[in-house]
Amino acid sequence: MKGVVLAGGTGSRLRPITHTGPKQLVPVANKPVIEYAIDDLVEAGITEIGVVLGNKGRQEIQNYLGDGSDFGVEITYIVQGEPLGLAHAVGCAKDFVGDDSFVVYLGDDLMREGIVEFVDDFDPDEYAAGIGLQQVDEPERYGIVEVEDPPESGEGGEAVDTADVGDVVGLVEKPDDPPSDLALIGIYVFTPAIFEQIERLEPSWRGELEITEAIQGLIDDGDRIQSHVVHGWWKDTGKPEDVIHANRLVLDDIAGDVRGTVEDGATVTGRLDLGEGSTIESGATVRGPVSIGRNTTIEAGTYVGPYTSIGDDCAIGEVHIESSVVIGESTIRCDRRIVDSVIGRHATIRTNTDKQPTGERLVIGRNSSLEL
């Protein structure tokens, strides 16, 4: 089986962070999101991986992943160009896939429990495709599947305790009257039969080729579609608040590893991942779970609170920061409290209380959001 990682989106919902880099390289707990997808594929025994790239961020992703050898895989790059929908992106992988079954993994998604069970359970002799699903509280907000034997749903209903809830017999986008509470989460396994369906598609009202329509085509032709309910959390990192939440979820599971220096007089509690060359100075306070990259200094008088990730080559001083992501190569020295924030690369935040006239001094780029 092969893997196909979709990395061609424009990241419009994550601007301005994505003005200077692709969303798939935005770090969660100091590891780019796309690397989690690669790790999950490797864990499932898949080492031949096609990465579908768009026009934006193509070179940055290739520079980071290289030929894949650093991650124990062999990577083939597939150029999609302008993103014309998930089905279009999958269709671009036809030559790479050949006659093999393949997993499709969205390059900006995270899954706590990985895909081993999903891959192991799929039988290409019985099914043309498998769909990853998760129970949701408000199914009318999602793409929902109808299955042969739907589980109990609704408020107070117990969670599904099995992965397979019967064959998928229909798909509907944001239904007024949901047939189930099982939502598509963007992880699929296909046989090459999907390519014939993609070739038949016409653009939807969004101007895109929809993967749900291609799957529905398989169903209409009499093919079986396997359901697979994913337990544990799943997270799309398409928006800043999603990155913050995903960072929190991942940090909840870190074991902690101090490779840098914690000076005498520093206060460190909870789990800490501290990179090589980094220093927590005497007089600083760090309360985990926290991830700090390489060659970063947490200066005296600084408080770094739980669920914060600070990237490489940063200087953090005098500030109270928690539940935030600092991507890297930034300087933050200000007598302020920063919470629930995503701070892009090469950012500088300083206190301006000594300047006249008093007031906030801002340079705000397009698609920025501030709360002062």
Q: What pLDDT, on the 0 to 100 scale, is given for residue 57?
A: 73
Mean pLDDT lowest among 42-46, 110-114, 133-137: 110-114
Residue with tokens 């928690």: 322
pLDDT at position 157 is 47
In this prediction, residues 113-138 reach a mean pLDDT of 87
Residue 305 confidence (pLDDT) above 60: yes
> Using CA atoms, how far apart are residues 171 and 33, in angstroms rounded to an integer?
28
Query: CATH says 255-350 is which class?
Result: mainly beta
Q: What percent of the chain has pLDDT over 90?
A: 40
Q: What is the pLDDT of residue 151?
A: 52
For the ranges 44-48, 311-315, 339-343, 352-356, the lowest mean pLDDT is seen at 352-356
Sequence-separated (6 or more) residues with CB below 8 Å from residue 330: 311, 314, 315, 343, 344, 345, 346, 347, 348, 349
Per-residue model confidence (pLDDT) at position 45 = 93
Average pLDDT over residues 227-239: 75
Can you give the pLDDT at residue 289? 95
Beta-bridge partner residues of 348: 331
What is the DSSP annotation of 307-339?
A: SEEE-SS-EEES-EEES-EE-SS-EEE-SSEEE
User: Which residue ranges make up each domain of the chain?
Assistant: 2-250, 255-350
Greatest CA span in the chain, whole angstroms?
74
In this prediction, residue 26 carries a pLDDT of: 79
Split at pLDDT 50, 70, 90, the class of 154 is very low
Supply the mean pLDDT for the chain: 83
Confidence of residue 150 (pLDDT cuts 50, 70, 90): low
Q: Is residue 73 within 8 Å of 47, Cβ to Cβ? A: yes
Is the pTM for the entire model greater than 0.75?
A: yes
What's the pLDDT band for 149 if we cut at 50, 70, 90? low
Residue 295 reports pLDDT greater than 90:
yes
| Residue that is written with structure tokens 């600083």 in the block | 284
Would the pLDDT of 153 be above 90?
Answer: no
* CATH number, domain 2-250, options 3.20.20.370, 3.40.47.10, 3.90.550.10, 3.40.50.2300: 3.90.550.10
Stretch (H or E) spanning 96: helix 94-97
What mean pLDDT is predicted for residues 289-309? 94
Whether residue 211 is predicted with pLDDT greater than 70 in this model: the reply is yes
pLDDT at 364: 52
300 or 147, higher pLDDT: 300
Nearest CA among 96, 21, 4, 10 for reference residue 55 = 10
The percent of residues in the chain predicted with pLDDT above 70, rounded, is: 84
State mean pLDDT over 186-194.
92
Report the range of poorest mean pLDDT among 56-60, 95-99, 214-218.
56-60
More confident residue, 265 or 350: 265
**pLDDT score at 155:** 43
The tens digit of pLDDT for each residue in 4-25 reads 998 866 545 545 454 455 667 7
- Asked whether this chain's domains 2-250 and 255-350 adopt the same fold, the reply is no
Of 74-88, 93-107, 355-369, where does the model show the most confidence?
A: 93-107
More confident residue, 264 or 7: 264
Structure tokens that stand for 169 in this block: 């017999």
Average pLDDT over residues 217-223: 93
Model confidence at 296, in pLDDT bands (50, 70, 90)?
Answer: very high
